[in-house]
Structure 1
Amino acid sequence: MNDILNISAYKFVPLPDATELRTQLQALTLDLGLKGTILLAEEGINLFLAAPAEAVRALVAHLHADARFADIVPKESWSAQQPFRKMLVKVKPEIIRMNHPTIRPAEGRAPAVPAATVKRWLDQGHDDEGRPVVTLDTRNDFEVDQGTFDNAIDWRISKFSEFPQAVLDHRAELAGKTVVSFCTGGIRCEKAAIFMQEAGLDHVYQLEGGILKYFEETGGAHYHGNCFVFDERRGVDADLSALKR
């Protein structure tokens, strides 16, 4: 019986009180019996949590009571077993490491495109202006190997901090095309799309909600394989269920 609720969410928002938040959330998550990871930084919050639904929803309600997190809408999936071994709440320099401190999504994100529009563009082979569409996988090579969009661009990076140099090395190949960047849940593309814009690419979008939202809204059309996730499930199918072992 799939009675463990798994959620993932993030938000880029200034958190000068990240250290105080860590203490508060550490106590609350332990009290609720949650397991997973919450990352806090001056730039925002990133979380992956799992527990029976009542406990998870209590944590989300607590976050929503803070005006800075009121609009967070977690992505949900279900599993028969707890996919995390422990609960960690950490303060880090970045919630997703890129090593480019001037890239600050909280000050204005790059354009996002919903899953249904991406599917339609891929169905027809071009965007609504007739421009060729390419999908760009911003994830690490081992994640891509488990599954990705058909004909996606994959630069075989081993960590996200390599992405900026890869953009500069391959920028000419993307010129004149509509580039849809994507990742698991959207957080990497918040920075990736901004960097590509600043590198001079004119038609760059991020897939809203990442692969997980795309699975939820389209059933995985134009995607082959599974989506790697950083917990003991190791991956989910297009129906957002854990892989069978």
Structure 2
Amino acid sequence: MQVLLYYCYTPIADPARFRDEHHRLCLALDLRGRIIVAAEGLNGTVSGTPAACTAYMAAVQADPRFAALEFKVDEAPAHVFQKLHVRLKDEIVHSSLRHVRPHERTGQHLSPQEFKELKDRDDVVVVDVRSDYEYTLGRFKNAITLDIENFRDFPERVERLREFEGKKILTYCTGGVKCEKASAFLLEQGFENVYQLHGGIIKYGQEVGGEDFDGQCYVFDNRVAVDVNTVNPTVIARCHHCQQPSPRLVNCANPHCNAHVPLCEPCAEQLQGACSTSCAEHPDKRPYDGTGTYPRQSNHYTPAQGLASYKAA
């Protein structure tokens, strides 16, 4: 199978209609994944056969609104999603920056090679705009992190970057979609030299080997995390329980907690997938199967049901 990661900020005049049409396209190609449609654009990750993914990319880019959209293409042994969801939302990435229009003004795009050449200069600061559970698993060497539980917290953290005014600010995220809004907001707030890693961590790994990205990159599918650094890889995450180095990120088996935490195999077995003793003893704790992921059961789901349910609502 192939996995496609993509986004595009572009006005969509009738997002509800586009959503239905796009869902039908995915049904015809037997794709699975999560796609968000909004008036501001399109954002998604899907998996399918190489032929289906090729047809999907051609169909999307044939639309003049998405002619400039770039796909990050990865390989996987099987589907990385159980279902197909094509959802209509207010934004293609949840933030508190609905007024920001990246297609009109955003930070300057840097290719992975350009980012690599700039990131270690004295007049540069590299800023991770992702959530804490993502950068705990992996991040660029010497990157500034902002203690963000959710991207919507980003505007509240911007003042922490005032000490770096006058330097070039290089933002990065998984695939680029958050950086578009983050860098645009920084410009709005008076920062002048604002840049973003075009294509995000994923493209950086594909094009320049992921050099100096420590740890793994969190992804929003059943793989949970992927390796991106083939040059100087290392593990930076530490087990939430014993503090030993561990690249394994799990969801706490207590569904009322569901925290994203690194947990080594011995501790995961001891706590049966829970992040703490109290969560391990919770009466609603889910059975631990060794993976630490808990995808929703399909329950005889078919992708067409998603469209029917949406239309019924």
Alignment TM-score, normalising by the size of structure 1? 0.90
Deviates more, 1:144-153 or 1:101-110: 101-110
3-state SS, counterpart of residue 197 of structure 1: helix
Q: How does 1:47-58 map to 2 (within 5 A)?
A: 47-58=44-55
- Alignment pair present for 1:149 and 2:140: yes
Aligned residue in 2 for 1:81: 78
The residue number in structure 1 matching 2:131 is: 140
Aligned to 1:193: 183
SS of aligned partner of 2:103 = helix
1:223 aligned to 2:220? no
Say if 1:181 and 1:189, in contact at 8 Å, map to a contact too.
yes
Q: Confirm whether residue 179 of structure 1 aligns to residue 169 of structure 2.
A: yes
CA-based RMSD of the aligned residues comes to: 1.7
Partner SS, residue 180 of structure 1 = strand
Structure 1 residue 147, shift from structure 2 partner: 0.4
Q: Which residue of 2 aligns with 1:114?
A: 111
| Secondary structure of residue in 2 paired with 1:173 | helix
- % same residue: 36
Once residues 19 and 40 of structure 1 are traced to their aligned partners in structure 2, the CA distance between those partners, rounded to angstroms, is 8
What's the CA shift for 1:112? 1.3
Q: Write the deviation string for residues 176-235 of structure 1: whole angstroms up to 9, x where unpaired.
A: 221100000000000000111111212111111111111111111111111100001011
1:38–1:48 CA contact under 8 A, matched in 2: yes
Within the candidate set 214, 224, 236, 2:204 is matched to 214
Query: Structure 1, unaligned stretches of length 5 or more?
Result: none
Maintained 8 Å contact 1:171/1:201:
no
Q: Secondary structure at the match of 1:112?
A: strand
Deviation (angstroms), 1:239? 6.1
**Distance of 2:103 and 2:115 partners within structure 1:** 24
2: CA distance, partners of 1:121 / 1:107 = 25
Q: Bigger CA drift: 174-183 or 6-15?
A: 174-183
Please give the alpha-carbon distance, in whole angstroms, between the structure 2 residues aligned to 1:58 and 1:64.
10
**Comparing both chains, which one has the higher relative contact order based on Cα–Cα distances under 8 Å and sequence gaps of 6 or more?**
1
If each structure's strand is expressed as a fraction of its own residues, which one has the higher value?
A: 1
Size of the alignment, in residue pairs?
233
Q: State the alpha-carbon separation in 1 of the partners of residues 219 and 199 from structure 2.
A: 14
CA distance in 2 between counterparts of 1:239 and 1:174 reads 28
Cα distance, 1:121 vs. partner? Answer: 2.1
User: Are the equivalent residues in 1 in contact too, given 2:97–2:181 (CA < 8 A)?
Assistant: no
Q: Which amino acid in the other structure matches residue 192 of structure 1?
A: A
Q: Which residue of 2 aligns with 1:93?
A: 90
Task: Note if contact 1:174-1:201 (Cα within 8 Å) is conserved in structure 2.
Answer: no
